[in-house]
Amino acid sequence: MTFATWTDPSCAAIAQLLTERTGMVFTPNRIESLEAAVRRAAERSGVTEAAEYMKLLETDKLPIDDLVAEVTVGETYFFRDPALFEYIRHHLLPEITGRIGTSRPIRLWSAGCASGEEAYSLAILLEEERLSDRASLLATDISRTALAKARAAAYGSWSLRASDAAFVDRYFNRVHDRLVLDPRFRTRVSFEYLNLAIDSYPSMTTGTWGMDLILCRNVMIYLDRGTIERVARRLLDCLADGGLIVTGPSDPWLAEIVPCETVATPAGVFYRRRKTAAIVRSQSWWTAPTTPPLPPVPACAEIAVEWSAPPPEPASVPGDDLLARSREAFGKGQYEHVLEMTCERESDPELSALRLRSLANLGGPAEAEREAEAALALHPLSAELHFLRGVLLMSLARDHEAARSVRTAIYLDRSLAVAHFTLGSILGRGGDLAGARRAYRNARVQCLSRHPGEIVPLSDGETAGRLAEAAQVQIGLLEAGS
C-alpha cells in the first residue's frame, strides 16, 4: 500500500505544531485528510495559503481548535454503546452510591465530549435513576466549535441513531429539522474547554478531581504514545478512591502504558488507580506550589498520627520554619505529614490553608469544610481561606454558600483571578449567565494584568495566559448559549 506524502511543506509544519500543542499524531495515511482540513480551516479564516495560516497559528493570532475540530472526527451519538450505559445504570451507579452514601455528589466526567451527546446521555441516565440532584457532571473538549454545539444541545437525527422514537419524544423538542434537548439537561452539565495534552489537571480550577467515573472514549486514538501516557496518568490522578476510567474499544490498552488496575466487565475493561501508598498519595484535588526542599519537623504534639513512610531527610536548609516545611511536605504530596505538623488552630492563615488542602486531599471536602469554618473564625480576613471554603462548598453542591464565600474572597482581594473564575463556574451552573459572564470577564482582566507565563496565585499551577484563555472560552460559550 502507498500513502500520500506532503504536497505542501507548510502543512507538514502545521502537523508538527498540532502534535506539539495537542499530542495528536499524524500517520502517513492521514496526510491527505490533514491537508484537506488545513485548506478548509484556512479558508474559513480568510487566508488561502497554508504558510499564512501556519503563521497565524504559530503567533496565537488564531486558536488552533478550529483546525482540531476539522481533523478529529467529532463522531459521537446518544447512548453510543448501549451495553456500556446499561452497565453504568445497573452496576456502576449503585456501586458508587453504595460507596459514597450521601456524603458528597457523584462526580462524572466526559473527557473529549465532542458535541455533548455522551455527557447528555449520562445526564439522562442520572435522571432516570433519580440521581440528578446528587450528581455533578463535567464535560470537556479541546474544540470550541464542538463545545458551542454541546451547549446549544440541538441535534440532527443522526445523533440519535441508536435511540427509539419514544425516547426522542420524551427528551427532545422538534424545532424545524432539529431535535432540541429539554433545557433542564443543559444546566446539569458543565461544558468546559480543556486540552488533555496540557498538564492542567487534576485541578480545582478546572473541576477535574475526585471523579467517580471518567468516560474518555475515542479520544486517545488520536494521540501519540507519550501524550497517551501522560493523559492516562493524569486521568488516574483525577479519580476518587474506587473511581474508574472507561475508554472505547478502539482506544489504546492503558494497562500496558501506565500502572493501573484493570476491571473486566461484560461492558468492557475499565481502569482504576492501583492501591499503593505512592499512587494513592498522588491523588489530590489540590496540587502544590513549587517550593525549595526543606527538612521535616517533629509532629505537632496534639495530633498523634503514625505514618509508615517518613520522607527522606534532606540536608539542612536556611530559613527553616514551620510554614516552609509544611509547604515542602505539601509539595511532595506528604499530606499526612502536613497534618502532623500543623494543628487545628493555626495562628498563620497560610498554614491553615495548607492544612485544609491536605485534609481535603486525604479525607475529602466534607471534613475539610468543617475545619475551614473554624479556621475562618480565627482568620476572618484571609481571602485564601474564604476561597478554599467556597471551593469545598462547591464540591459539596452547596452553591449558594459557595458563591457567598468566593465573593467574600474577591471582596478581600479583587486580584484573585481564580476566585473570579470559580464564581463564574458557580453562577453559570446555577443559570445566572449574565453574572457568570461578568465573573469570567473579571477573571480575564486580572489575568491580563499579569505576564502570560506567570503562575496565578491559588490556581494549582495555572498560568495567567492559560487561565485568561480559559475565561475567554467560557465567555464565548456563554454568549453562544444565551
Ligand X SMILES: C[S@@+](CC[C@H](N)C(=O)[O-])C[C@H]1O[C@@H](n2cnc3c(N)ncnc32)[C@H](O)[C@@H]1O
Q: Which residues, in sequence order, are CB contacts of 301 under 8 Å at separation 6+? A: none
Does 141 interact with ligand X (rule: CB under 6 A)? yes
Q: Would you say 149 or 357 has its CB closer to ligand X? A: 149
Candidates 138-146, 156-164, 182-190, 308-316 — which segment interacts with ligand X by CB under 6 A?
138-146
Rounded least distance, CB 248 to ligand X, Å: 6
Q: Would you say 179 or 383 has its CB closer to ligand X? A: 179
168-135-436 Cα angle (round to 5): 90
Does 219 interact with ligand X (rule: CB under 6 A)? yes
Q: Residues 5-44 vs ligand X: string with x where CB under 6 A?
A: -----------------xx---------------------
Does 234 interact with ligand X (rule: CB under 6 A)? no
- Site for ligand X (CB under 6 A): which residue of 54, 67, 114, 383? 114
- Site for ligand X (CB under 6 A): which residue of 149, 217, 355, 386? 217
Rounded least distance, CB 111 to ligand X, Å: 7
Measured distance CA(200)–CA(333) in Å, rounded: 17
Q: Would you say 222 or 330 has its CB closer to ligand X? A: 222
* Site residues (CB under 6 A) for ligand X, limited to 71-90: 72-76, 80
206-209-215 Cα angle (round to 5): 90
Rounded least distance, CB 197 to ligand X, Å: 4
Rounded least distance, CB 151 to ligand X, Å: 14
- Site for ligand X (CB under 6 A): which residue of 35, 66, 70, 118? 118
Q: Would you say 267 or 288 has its CB closer to ligand X? A: 267
Q: Would you say 68 or 410 has its CB closer to ligand X? A: 68
Q: Residues 348-367 vs ligand X: string with x where CB under 6 A?
A: --------------------
8 A C-beta contact, residue 285 and residue 360: yes
Does 49 interact with ligand X (rule: CB under 6 A)? no
How many residues contact ligand X, by CB under 6 A?
A: 25
Rounded least distance, CB 97 to ligand X, Å: 24
Beta strands at 239-246 and 268-272: parallel, antiparallel or unpaired: antiparallel
Q: Residues 179-208 vs ligand X: string with x where CB under 6 A?
A: ----------------xxx-----------
Q: Would you say 113 or 211 has its CB closer to ligand X? A: 113
Inter-axis angle of helices 144-152 and 464-481, nearest 10: 40
Q: Would you say 42 or 146 has its CB closer to ligand X? A: 146
Rounded least distance, CB 121 to ligand X, Å: 9
Q: Would you say 49 or 75 has its CB closer to ligand X? A: 75
- Site for ligand X (CB under 6 A): which residue of 63, 105, 112, 296? 112
Rounded least distance, CB 206 to ligand X, Å: 12
Q: Which residue is nearest to ligand X (CB)?
A: 76
Candidates 69-77, 176-184, 343-351, 391-399 — which segment interacts with ligand X by CB under 6 A?
69-77
Q: Would you say 214 or 423 has its CB closer to ligand X? A: 214
CA-to-CA separations, 172 to 167, 186, 276, in angstroms, rounded = 8, 12, 46
Rounded least distance, CB 299 to ligand X, Å: 42
Where b means 16+ CB within 10 Å and e means fewer, 320-341 reads: eeebbbbbbbbbbbbbbbbbbb
* Site residues (CB under 6 A) for ligand X, limited to 450-479: none
Measured distance CA(427)–CA(207) in Å, rounded: 14
Compute how many other C-beta atoms are within 10 angstroms of the C-beta atom of residue 94.
12
Rounded least distance, CB 303 to ligand X, Å: 41
Where b means 16+ CB within 10 Å and e means fewer, 211-241 reads: bbbbbbbbbbbbbbeebbebbbbbbbbbbbe
Start-to-end CA distance of the chain, whole Å, equals 50
Report the candidate in 160, 188, 158 with the shortest Cα–Cα distance to residue 172.
Answer: 160
- Site for ligand X (CB under 6 A): which residue of 136, 200, 218, 422? 218
Q: Would you say 109 or 330 has its CB closer to ligand X? A: 109
Side chain identity at residue 286, one-letter code: W
Q: In what order do the strands lie in the sheet with 261-265?
A: 189-193, 135-141, 106-111, 211-215, 239-246, 268-272, 261-265
Binding site for ligand X (CB under 6 A): 22-23, 68, 72-76, 80, 112-114, 118, 141-143, 146, 195-197, 217-219, 222, 248
